[in-house]
Structure 1
Protein backbone atom coordinates (compact mmCIF):
# COMPACT_ATOMS: atom_id res chain seq x y z
CA UNK A 1 0.00 0.00 0.00
CA UNK A 2 1.26 3.50 -0.86
CA UNK A 3 -0.12 7.04 -0.60
CA UNK A 4 -1.56 6.96 -4.11
CA UNK A 5 -3.42 3.73 -3.42
CA UNK A 6 -4.73 5.04 -0.11
CA UNK A 7 -6.14 8.15 -1.79
CA UNK A 8 -7.70 6.05 -4.57
CA UNK A 9 -9.44 3.85 -2.00
CA UNK A 10 -10.81 6.90 -0.18
CA UNK A 11 -12.09 8.47 -3.41
CA UNK A 12 -13.69 5.19 -4.42
CA UNK A 13 -15.51 5.06 -1.08
CA UNK A 14 -16.66 8.65 -1.43
CA UNK A 15 -18.08 7.76 -4.84
CA UNK A 16 -20.07 4.94 -3.25
CA UNK A 17 -21.32 7.24 -0.50
CA UNK A 18 -22.38 10.00 -2.90
CA UNK A 19 -23.75 7.86 -5.76
CA UNK A 20 -21.23 9.23 -8.24
CA UNK A 21 -18.07 8.16 -10.07
CA UNK A 22 -14.52 8.37 -8.65
CA UNK A 23 -13.40 10.56 -11.53
CA UNK A 24 -16.01 13.14 -10.51
CA UNK A 25 -13.70 14.14 -7.63
CA UNK A 26 -10.70 14.55 -9.94
CA UNK A 27 -12.45 16.92 -12.31
CA UNK A 28 -11.99 20.68 -12.24
CA UNK A 29 -15.73 21.05 -12.78
CA UNK A 30 -18.28 20.84 -9.96
CA UNK A 31 -20.95 18.17 -10.18
CA UNK A 32 -24.39 17.58 -8.67
CA UNK A 33 -25.78 14.04 -8.47
CA UNK A 34 -28.93 12.53 -7.01
CA UNK A 35 -28.33 10.74 -3.71
CA UNK A 36 -29.47 7.15 -3.24
CA UNK A 37 -29.12 4.36 -0.72
CA UNK A 38 -26.16 2.02 -0.95
CA UNK A 39 -25.41 -0.90 1.38
CA UNK A 40 -21.67 -0.39 0.80
CA UNK A 41 -21.68 3.21 2.07
CA UNK A 42 -20.06 4.14 5.38
CA UNK A 43 -22.29 2.73 8.11
CA UNK A 44 -22.80 5.96 10.05
CA UNK A 45 -24.17 7.86 7.05
CA UNK A 46 -27.91 8.33 6.69
CA UNK A 47 -28.83 7.87 3.04
CA UNK A 48 -30.16 9.22 0.83
CA UNK A 49 -28.67 12.63 1.56
CA UNK A 50 -30.75 15.76 1.25
CA UNK A 51 -27.64 17.87 0.65
CA UNK A 52 -24.10 16.61 1.08
CA UNK A 53 -20.98 18.30 -0.32
CA UNK A 54 -17.54 16.72 -0.65
CA UNK A 55 -14.30 18.20 -1.93
CA UNK A 56 -10.85 16.68 -2.33
CA UNK A 57 -9.59 20.14 -3.27
CA UNK A 58 -10.16 20.26 -7.03
CA UNK A 59 -13.91 20.77 -7.08
CA UNK A 60 -17.13 19.99 -5.22
CA UNK A 61 -19.34 16.97 -5.74
CA UNK A 62 -22.81 17.45 -4.29
CA UNK A 63 -25.12 14.51 -3.59
CA UNK A 64 -28.64 15.86 -3.14
CA UNK A 65 -32.38 15.38 -3.17
CA UNK A 66 -34.05 16.15 -6.49
CA UNK A 67 -35.84 19.15 -4.95
CA UNK A 68 -32.63 21.12 -4.43
CA UNK A 69 -30.56 20.27 -7.51
CA UNK A 70 -30.78 23.78 -8.97
CA UNK A 71 -30.23 25.48 -5.60
CA UNK A 72 -27.09 23.52 -4.82
CA UNK A 73 -25.74 23.71 -8.37
CA UNK A 74 -26.07 27.49 -8.28
CA UNK A 75 -24.39 27.69 -4.88
CA UNK A 76 -21.32 25.56 -5.59
CA UNK A 77 -20.72 27.33 -8.90
CA UNK A 78 -21.09 30.83 -7.45
CA UNK A 79 -18.34 30.69 -4.81
CA UNK A 80 -14.77 29.39 -4.66
CA UNK A 81 -14.52 25.75 -3.60
CA UNK A 82 -13.09 26.31 -0.13
CA UNK A 83 -15.44 29.19 0.63
CA UNK A 84 -18.49 26.97 0.02
CA UNK A 85 -17.65 25.18 3.28
CA UNK A 86 -17.43 28.27 5.49
CA UNK A 87 -19.17 31.49 6.39
CA UNK A 88 -20.18 33.98 5.15
CA UNK A 89 -20.93 32.15 1.88
CA UNK A 90 -22.41 29.25 3.82
CA UNK A 91 -25.29 31.45 4.93
CA UNK A 92 -26.49 31.55 1.32
CA UNK A 93 -26.85 27.77 1.21
CA UNK A 94 -28.36 27.57 4.67
CA UNK A 95 -30.99 30.19 3.84
CA UNK A 96 -32.02 28.27 0.73
CA UNK A 97 -32.18 24.95 2.58
CA UNK A 98 -34.32 26.40 5.38
CA UNK A 99 -37.17 26.77 2.90
CA UNK A 100 -37.16 22.96 2.75
CA UNK A 101 -36.99 22.53 6.53
CA UNK A 102 -33.27 21.72 6.40
CA UNK A 103 -30.11 23.36 7.74
CA UNK A 104 -26.37 22.96 7.42
CA UNK A 105 -25.42 20.64 10.27
CA UNK A 106 -22.02 18.96 9.99
CA UNK A 107 -18.82 20.35 8.45
CA UNK A 108 -15.71 18.25 8.93
CA UNK A 109 -12.20 17.64 7.68
CA UNK A 110 -10.93 14.14 6.95
CA UNK A 111 -7.34 12.91 7.17
CA UNK A 112 -5.50 10.00 5.57
CA UNK A 113 -2.17 8.51 6.63
CA UNK A 114 0.94 9.79 4.88
CA UNK A 115 3.14 6.72 4.67
CA UNK A 116 6.21 8.93 4.37
CA UNK A 117 5.39 10.41 7.79
CA UNK A 118 3.54 7.63 9.61
CA UNK A 119 5.73 5.83 12.13
CA UNK A 120 5.33 4.25 15.55
CA UNK A 121 5.74 7.15 17.96
CA UNK A 122 7.32 6.73 21.41
CA UNK A 123 5.19 6.63 24.54
CA UNK A 124 6.19 6.73 28.20
CA UNK A 125 3.39 4.31 29.05
CA UNK A 126 2.63 0.70 28.16
CA UNK A 127 0.62 0.21 24.98
CA UNK A 128 -1.64 -2.79 24.45
CA UNK A 129 -3.65 -3.91 21.44
CA UNK A 130 -7.26 -4.63 22.38
CA UNK A 131 -9.71 -6.86 20.53
CA UNK A 132 -13.52 -6.39 20.56
CA UNK A 133 -14.09 -8.74 23.49
CA UNK A 134 -11.75 -6.57 25.60
CA UNK A 135 -13.76 -3.40 24.92
CA UNK A 136 -17.02 -4.46 26.57
CA UNK A 137 -16.54 -2.45 29.76
CA UNK A 138 -15.06 0.61 28.06
CA UNK A 139 -18.24 2.19 26.70
CA UNK A 140 -18.15 5.08 29.14
CA UNK A 141 -17.85 8.86 28.81
CA UNK A 142 -14.05 8.86 29.07
CA UNK A 143 -13.73 6.91 25.82
CA UNK A 144 -16.68 8.27 23.83
CA UNK A 145 -14.48 9.45 20.95
CA UNK A 146 -12.53 6.21 20.73
CA UNK A 147 -15.58 3.93 20.87
CA UNK A 148 -19.21 4.28 19.78
CA UNK A 149 -21.82 2.71 22.02
CA UNK A 150 -24.52 2.99 19.33
CA UNK A 151 -22.44 0.92 16.90
CA UNK A 152 -20.50 -1.43 19.16
CA UNK A 153 -20.48 -4.14 16.50
CA UNK A 154 -18.31 -1.92 14.28
CA UNK A 155 -15.57 -1.37 16.90
CA UNK A 156 -13.05 -3.92 15.68
CA UNK A 157 -9.71 -2.90 17.17
CA UNK A 158 -8.18 -0.54 19.74
CA UNK A 159 -4.89 0.38 21.37
CA UNK A 160 -4.80 1.36 25.03
CA UNK A 161 -2.16 3.23 27.03
CA UNK A 162 -1.70 2.11 30.64
CA UNK A 163 -0.07 3.71 33.67
CA UNK A 164 0.70 0.85 36.06
CA UNK A 165 -2.38 -1.02 34.88
CA UNK A 166 -4.69 2.01 34.72
CA UNK A 167 -6.13 2.82 31.29
CA UNK A 168 -5.20 6.46 30.60
CA UNK A 169 -5.66 6.69 26.83
CA UNK A 170 -7.52 4.80 24.15
CA UNK A 171 -7.59 4.87 20.36
CA UNK A 172 -10.28 2.77 18.74
CA UNK A 173 -11.37 2.14 15.18
CA UNK A 174 -14.73 1.32 13.68
CA UNK A 175 -15.16 -0.71 10.50
CA UNK A 176 -17.28 1.96 8.85
CA UNK A 177 -17.03 0.31 5.44
CA UNK A 178 -15.31 -2.62 3.80
CA UNK A 179 -12.05 -0.86 2.97
CA UNK A 180 -11.73 1.96 5.53
CA UNK A 181 -11.67 2.03 9.33
CA UNK A 182 -12.12 5.28 11.23
CA UNK A 183 -9.90 6.18 14.20
CA UNK A 184 -11.06 8.04 17.30
CA UNK A 185 -8.93 8.78 20.35
CA UNK A 186 -9.31 9.91 23.98
CA UNK A 187 -6.74 10.67 26.67
CA UNK A 188 -7.61 11.36 30.30
CA UNK A 189 -7.21 15.10 31.13
CA UNK A 190 -4.36 14.60 33.62
CA UNK A 191 -2.28 12.79 30.99
CA UNK A 192 -2.68 15.12 28.03
CA UNK A 193 0.14 17.05 26.31
CA UNK A 194 2.52 14.12 26.69
CA UNK A 195 2.20 12.74 23.16
CA UNK A 196 0.02 9.84 24.27
CA UNK A 197 -2.76 10.57 21.77
CA UNK A 198 -0.35 10.66 18.84
CA UNK A 199 1.39 7.47 20.01
CA UNK A 200 -1.96 5.68 20.23
CA UNK A 201 -3.17 7.01 16.89
CA UNK A 202 -0.01 6.07 15.03
CA UNK A 203 0.12 2.62 16.61
CA UNK A 204 -3.49 1.90 15.68
CA UNK A 205 -3.05 3.25 12.15
CA UNK A 206 -0.11 0.91 11.56
CA UNK A 207 -2.12 -2.05 12.88
CA UNK A 208 -5.00 -1.17 10.54
CA UNK A 209 -2.71 -0.93 7.51
CA UNK A 210 -1.14 -4.27 8.47
CA UNK A 211 -4.64 -5.76 8.21
CA UNK A 212 -5.03 -4.38 4.69
CA UNK A 213 -7.45 -1.58 5.57
CA UNK A 214 -7.14 2.20 5.21
CA UNK A 215 -7.28 4.16 8.48
CA UNK A 216 -8.92 7.57 8.38
CA UNK A 217 -9.42 10.34 10.91
CA UNK A 218 -12.09 13.03 11.14
CA UNK A 219 -12.54 16.23 13.10
CA UNK A 220 -13.81 19.79 12.84
CA UNK A 221 -11.00 22.04 11.60
CA UNK A 222 -11.72 24.31 14.59
CA UNK A 223 -10.79 21.43 16.92
CA UNK A 224 -7.12 22.35 16.89
CA UNK A 225 -6.14 19.77 19.50
CA UNK A 226 -7.50 17.00 17.30
CA UNK A 227 -6.04 18.48 14.11
CA UNK A 228 -2.61 18.69 15.74
CA UNK A 229 -2.92 15.09 16.87
CA UNK A 230 -3.76 13.93 13.35
CA UNK A 231 -0.76 15.72 11.84
CA UNK A 232 1.62 14.65 14.61
CA UNK A 233 0.44 11.05 14.15
CA UNK A 234 1.42 11.05 10.47
CA UNK A 235 -1.90 11.97 8.86
CA UNK A 236 -2.54 14.69 6.26
CA UNK A 237 -5.76 16.53 5.26
CA UNK A 238 -7.44 14.69 2.38
CA UNK A 239 -11.04 15.85 1.93
CA UNK A 240 -13.85 17.89 3.50
CA UNK A 241 -17.56 17.20 3.88
CA UNK A 242 -20.69 19.24 4.59
CA UNK A 243 -24.01 17.64 5.50
CA UNK A 244 -27.46 19.17 5.86
CA UNK A 245 -29.99 17.76 8.32
CA UNK A 246 -33.57 18.56 9.26
CA UNK A 247 -34.14 21.65 11.40
CA UNK A 248 -35.60 19.37 14.09
CA UNK A 249 -32.41 17.31 14.11
CA UNK A 250 -30.23 20.44 14.41
CA UNK A 251 -32.43 21.86 17.17
CA UNK A 252 -32.12 18.60 19.10
CA UNK A 253 -28.32 18.74 18.93
CA UNK A 254 -28.37 22.35 20.15
CA UNK A 255 -30.44 21.64 23.27
Structure 2
Protein backbone atom coordinates (compact mmCIF):
# COMPACT_ATOMS: atom_id res chain seq x y z
CA UNK A 1 0.00 0.00 0.00
CA UNK A 2 2.30 2.76 -1.25
CA UNK A 3 1.50 6.26 -0.01
CA UNK A 4 2.91 9.35 -1.68
CA UNK A 5 0.92 12.37 -0.45
CA UNK A 6 1.61 15.92 -1.56
CA UNK A 7 3.22 18.63 0.54
CA UNK A 8 -0.11 20.28 1.38
CA UNK A 9 -1.69 16.99 2.48
CA UNK A 10 1.23 16.18 4.80
CA UNK A 11 1.20 19.63 6.38
CA UNK A 12 -2.57 19.54 6.86
CA UNK A 13 -2.38 16.16 8.57
CA UNK A 14 0.28 17.49 10.94
CA UNK A 15 -1.76 20.59 11.77
CA UNK A 16 -4.85 18.46 12.35
CA UNK A 17 -2.91 16.25 14.75
CA UNK A 18 -1.48 19.21 16.66
CA UNK A 19 -4.95 20.73 16.91
CA UNK A 20 -6.16 17.52 18.56
CA UNK A 21 -3.36 17.71 21.11
CA UNK A 22 -3.49 21.45 21.79
CA UNK A 23 -7.29 21.67 22.04
CA UNK A 24 -7.58 24.18 19.21
CA UNK A 25 -8.41 24.38 15.53
CA UNK A 26 -5.83 23.72 12.78
CA UNK A 27 -6.31 27.31 11.63
CA UNK A 28 -5.12 28.62 15.00
CA UNK A 29 -1.53 27.79 14.01
CA UNK A 30 -1.77 30.20 11.06
CA UNK A 31 -2.81 33.22 13.11
CA UNK A 32 -0.56 36.09 14.14
CA UNK A 33 -1.82 36.37 17.72
CA UNK A 34 -0.82 33.80 20.33
CA UNK A 35 -3.50 31.33 21.43
CA UNK A 36 -4.05 29.97 24.95
CA UNK A 37 -6.29 26.93 25.46
CA UNK A 38 -7.20 24.61 28.30
CA UNK A 39 -5.30 21.33 28.46
CA UNK A 40 -7.21 18.29 27.24
CA UNK A 41 -6.20 14.66 26.92
CA UNK A 42 -7.75 13.70 23.62
CA UNK A 43 -7.89 9.95 22.91
CA UNK A 44 -6.36 10.49 19.45
CA UNK A 45 -3.29 12.33 20.75
CA UNK A 46 0.28 11.08 20.45
CA UNK A 47 0.49 9.31 23.78
CA UNK A 48 3.71 10.61 25.34
CA UNK A 49 2.11 10.96 28.79
CA UNK A 50 -0.63 9.14 30.68
CA UNK A 51 -2.10 12.43 31.94
CA UNK A 52 -2.52 15.92 30.46
CA UNK A 53 0.53 18.15 30.37
CA UNK A 54 0.29 21.05 32.82
CA UNK A 55 1.57 23.16 29.91
CA UNK A 56 2.61 22.50 26.34
CA UNK A 57 3.36 24.92 23.52
CA UNK A 58 3.95 24.73 19.79
CA UNK A 59 4.73 27.03 16.89
CA UNK A 60 4.74 26.53 13.13
CA UNK A 61 6.71 29.76 12.69
CA UNK A 62 4.01 32.40 13.12
CA UNK A 63 2.28 32.47 16.49
CA UNK A 64 2.49 30.08 19.44
CA UNK A 65 -0.38 27.94 20.71
CA UNK A 66 -0.20 27.15 24.42
CA UNK A 67 -2.36 24.50 26.06
CA UNK A 68 -2.23 24.78 29.85
CA UNK A 69 -3.96 24.27 33.15
CA UNK A 70 -6.44 27.07 33.79
CA UNK A 71 -4.65 28.07 37.00
CA UNK A 72 -1.80 29.56 34.96
CA UNK A 73 -3.94 31.22 32.26
CA UNK A 74 -3.97 34.71 33.82
CA UNK A 75 -0.17 34.75 34.01
CA UNK A 76 0.17 33.37 30.47
CA UNK A 77 -2.19 36.00 29.07
CA UNK A 78 0.05 38.72 30.43
CA UNK A 79 3.26 36.87 29.43
CA UNK A 80 2.38 36.54 25.72
CA UNK A 81 1.04 40.09 25.42
CA UNK A 82 2.94 42.04 22.78
CA UNK A 83 5.29 39.12 22.01
CA UNK A 84 5.68 37.46 18.63
CA UNK A 85 5.04 33.76 19.07
CA UNK A 86 8.36 32.46 17.79
CA UNK A 87 10.28 34.47 20.40
CA UNK A 88 8.49 32.77 23.28
CA UNK A 89 10.93 29.88 22.82
CA UNK A 90 13.97 32.13 23.32
CA UNK A 91 15.96 31.84 26.53
CA UNK A 92 14.97 35.16 28.14
CA UNK A 93 11.26 34.40 27.72
CA UNK A 94 11.76 30.75 28.62
CA UNK A 95 13.37 31.81 31.88
CA UNK A 96 10.26 33.78 32.82
CA UNK A 97 8.05 30.80 32.00
CA UNK A 98 10.27 28.42 33.93
CA UNK A 99 10.20 30.67 37.00
CA UNK A 100 6.40 30.75 36.96
CA UNK A 101 6.02 27.02 36.37
CA UNK A 102 8.15 26.19 39.39
CA UNK A 103 5.58 27.98 41.57
CA UNK A 104 3.12 25.31 40.41
CA UNK A 105 5.50 22.36 40.83
CA UNK A 106 6.60 22.06 37.22
CA UNK A 107 9.50 22.91 34.93
CA UNK A 108 10.04 22.83 31.17
CA UNK A 109 11.31 19.66 29.51
CA UNK A 110 13.18 19.44 26.19
CA UNK A 111 12.37 21.55 23.16
CA UNK A 112 11.54 19.31 20.20
CA UNK A 113 12.37 20.51 16.68
CA UNK A 114 10.19 18.52 14.34
CA UNK A 115 10.66 17.68 10.66
CA UNK A 116 8.27 16.46 7.97
CA UNK A 117 9.24 14.77 4.69
CA UNK A 118 9.22 16.30 1.26
CA UNK A 119 6.44 14.78 -0.78
CA UNK A 120 8.33 12.13 -2.72
CA UNK A 121 10.34 8.96 -2.30
CA UNK A 122 14.14 9.18 -2.47
CA UNK A 123 16.46 6.80 -4.31
CA UNK A 124 18.95 5.08 -2.00
CA UNK A 125 22.26 3.73 -3.28
CA UNK A 126 24.19 1.87 -0.61
CA UNK A 127 26.57 -1.07 -0.28
CA UNK A 128 25.53 -1.65 3.32
CA UNK A 129 24.35 -5.06 4.43
CA UNK A 130 20.79 -4.30 5.52
CA UNK A 131 18.52 -6.21 7.86
CA UNK A 132 14.85 -5.31 8.29
CA UNK A 133 13.06 -5.85 11.62
CA UNK A 134 9.30 -6.12 11.92
CA UNK A 135 7.55 -5.34 15.20
CA UNK A 136 8.12 -8.75 16.76
CA UNK A 137 11.76 -8.78 15.65
CA UNK A 138 12.46 -5.58 17.61
CA UNK A 139 11.65 -7.10 21.01
CA UNK A 140 15.15 -8.62 21.65
CA UNK A 141 16.70 -5.15 21.24
CA UNK A 142 14.79 -3.55 24.13
CA UNK A 143 17.23 -2.55 26.85
CA UNK A 144 20.14 -2.37 24.41
CA UNK A 145 22.00 0.82 25.32
CA UNK A 146 23.28 1.23 21.76
CA UNK A 147 19.86 2.22 20.40
CA UNK A 148 18.17 4.71 22.77
CA UNK A 149 16.90 6.90 19.93
CA UNK A 150 16.03 4.30 17.30
CA UNK A 151 13.59 2.41 19.53
CA UNK A 152 11.87 2.88 22.88
CA UNK A 153 13.36 1.53 26.11
CA UNK A 154 10.59 -1.07 26.22
CA UNK A 155 7.50 -2.08 24.28
CA UNK A 156 4.88 0.65 24.55
CA UNK A 157 1.50 -0.44 23.18
CA UNK A 158 0.27 3.17 23.07
CA UNK A 159 2.98 4.05 20.49
CA UNK A 160 4.67 0.78 19.50
CA UNK A 161 7.91 0.40 17.59
CA UNK A 162 6.61 -1.06 14.37
CA UNK A 163 9.58 -1.21 12.01
CA UNK A 164 13.38 -0.89 12.05
CA UNK A 165 16.30 -1.24 9.67
CA UNK A 166 19.80 -2.25 10.76
CA UNK A 167 23.18 -1.89 9.06
CA UNK A 168 25.31 -4.97 9.69
CA UNK A 169 29.08 -5.51 9.88
CA UNK A 170 29.15 -9.27 9.78
CA UNK A 171 27.12 -10.28 12.83
CA UNK A 172 27.50 -6.87 14.50
CA UNK A 173 24.97 -4.06 14.27
CA UNK A 174 26.58 -0.81 13.13
CA UNK A 175 23.46 1.31 13.42
CA UNK A 176 19.69 1.18 13.56
CA UNK A 177 16.85 3.41 12.43
CA UNK A 178 13.44 2.63 13.87
CA UNK A 179 10.00 4.16 13.87
CA UNK A 180 7.23 4.20 16.43
CA UNK A 181 3.59 4.47 15.40
CA UNK A 182 2.81 7.56 17.44
CA UNK A 183 -0.54 7.54 15.65
CA UNK A 184 -1.78 5.15 12.97
CA UNK A 185 -0.84 7.79 10.35
CA UNK A 186 2.28 9.37 11.87
CA UNK A 187 5.39 7.25 12.47
CA UNK A 188 8.33 8.93 14.17
CA UNK A 189 11.84 7.96 13.05
CA UNK A 190 14.86 7.76 15.35
CA UNK A 191 18.45 6.82 14.52
CA UNK A 192 21.54 5.52 16.35
CA UNK A 193 24.94 4.70 14.87
CA UNK A 194 27.66 3.17 17.03
CA UNK A 195 30.56 5.62 17.58
CA UNK A 196 33.14 3.56 15.71
CA UNK A 197 30.97 3.53 12.56
CA UNK A 198 30.01 7.21 12.42
CA UNK A 199 31.02 9.43 9.52
CA UNK A 200 30.32 6.79 6.88
CA UNK A 201 26.85 7.92 5.79
CA UNK A 202 25.14 5.08 7.64
CA UNK A 203 22.57 7.33 9.31
CA UNK A 204 21.58 8.91 6.00
CA UNK A 205 21.13 5.52 4.32
CA UNK A 206 19.12 3.96 7.14
CA UNK A 207 16.84 6.93 7.74
CA UNK A 208 16.13 7.30 4.02
CA UNK A 209 15.37 3.60 3.65
CA UNK A 210 13.00 3.71 6.61
CA UNK A 211 11.42 6.95 5.41
CA UNK A 212 10.62 5.37 2.04
CA UNK A 213 9.29 2.15 3.57
CA UNK A 214 7.03 4.09 5.93
CA UNK A 215 5.41 5.78 2.93
CA UNK A 216 5.04 2.40 1.22
CA UNK A 217 3.17 1.10 4.27
CA UNK A 218 0.65 3.93 4.18
CA UNK A 219 1.96 6.20 6.94
CA UNK A 220 3.74 9.55 7.09
CA UNK A 221 7.25 9.49 8.58
CA UNK A 222 8.36 12.40 10.74
CA UNK A 223 11.56 13.17 12.60
CA UNK A 224 12.42 15.08 15.79
CA UNK A 225 15.61 16.32 17.35
CA UNK A 226 16.87 18.80 19.92
CA UNK A 227 18.02 22.38 19.39
CA UNK A 228 21.79 21.82 19.36
CA UNK A 229 22.01 18.30 17.92
CA UNK A 230 23.44 19.50 14.62
CA UNK A 231 24.46 16.04 13.34
CA UNK A 232 20.84 14.95 13.75
CA UNK A 233 19.62 18.10 11.99
CA UNK A 234 21.97 17.36 9.11
CA UNK A 235 20.70 13.79 8.86
CA UNK A 236 17.12 15.02 8.69
CA UNK A 237 17.90 17.52 5.94
CA UNK A 238 20.02 15.01 3.98
CA UNK A 239 17.15 12.50 4.08
CA UNK A 240 14.53 14.78 2.55
CA UNK A 241 13.00 16.17 5.73
CA UNK A 242 12.37 19.86 6.38
CA UNK A 243 11.74 21.68 9.68
CA UNK A 244 8.02 22.32 10.19
CA UNK A 245 7.19 22.90 13.85
CA UNK A 246 8.68 23.28 17.34
CA UNK A 247 7.01 21.97 20.48
CA UNK A 248 7.81 21.76 24.18
CA UNK A 249 6.05 20.65 27.32
CA UNK A 250 6.35 20.86 31.07
CA UNK A 251 7.28 18.07 33.44
CA UNK A 252 6.99 17.71 37.23
CA UNK A 253 9.73 19.46 39.17
CA UNK A 254 10.98 16.96 41.73
CA UNK A 255 12.57 19.75 43.78
CA UNK A 256 9.22 21.32 44.67
CA UNK A 257 6.72 20.07 47.17
CA UNK A 258 3.59 20.54 45.06
CA UNK A 259 2.61 19.05 41.74
CA UNK A 260 -1.00 18.95 40.60
CA contact (8 A) 2:33 2:85 kept: no
Deviations 1:27-56 (A, max 9, x none): 222111101111110021344221111001
Aligned residues: 249
Partner of 1:247: 253
Partner of 2:12: 8
User: Among residues 18, 32, 45, which one is paired with 2:49 in the alignment?
Assistant: 45
Name whichever of 40-49 and 237-246 sits farther off.
40-49
* 1:156 matched to 2:162: yes
User: Among residues 24, 27, 30, which one is paired with 2:34 in the alignment?
Assistant: 30
Query: Unaligned regions of 5+ residues in structure 1, if any?
Result: 251-255
State the alpha-carbon separation in 1 of the partners of residues 176 and 93 from structure 2. 38
CA contact (8 A) 1:112 1:237 kept: yes
* 1:226 matched to 2:232: yes
Partner of 2:208: 202
Structure 1 outlier segments of 4+, above 6 Å: none
* 1:191 matched to 2:197: yes
User: Among residues 196, 211, 219, which one is paired with 1:213 in the alignment?
Assistant: 219
* 1:76 matched to 2:80: yes
Query: Unaligned regions of 5+ residues in structure 2, if any?
Result: none
Partner of 1:101: 105
Q: TM-score, normalised by structure 1?
A: 0.92
Partner of 1:238: 244
Partner of 2:132: 129
Higher helix share: 1
CA contact (8 A) 1:120 1:199 kept: no
Report the CA distance shift for 1:122/1:61 in structure 2 as closer, same or farther (over 3 A): same
Give the drift of 1:97. Answer: 1.5
User: Among residues 60, 72, 80, which one is paired with 1:56 in the alignment?
Assistant: 60
Deviations 1:161-194 (A, max 9, x none): 1122422111000011122011111111111111
State the alpha-carbon separation in 1 of the partners of residues 82 and 72 from structure 2. 15
CA contact (8 A) 2:177 2:190 kept: yes
Q: TM-score, normalised by structure 2?
A: 0.90
Partner of 2:24: 20
CA RMSD after TM alignment = 1.7
State the alpha-carbon separation in 1 of the partners of residues 116 and 140 from structure 2. 29
Give the drift of 1:148. Answer: 0.5
CA contact (8 A) 2:59 2:247 kept: yes
Name whichever of 131-140 and 145-154 sits farther off.
145-154
Name whichever of 151-160 and 180-189 sits farther off.
151-160
Report the CA distance shift for 1:216/1:138 in structure 2 as closer, same or farther (over 3 A): same
Give the drift of 1:114. Answer: 1.3
* 1:145 matched to 2:149: yes
State the alpha-carbon separation in 2 of the partners of residues 193 and 73 from structure 1. 47
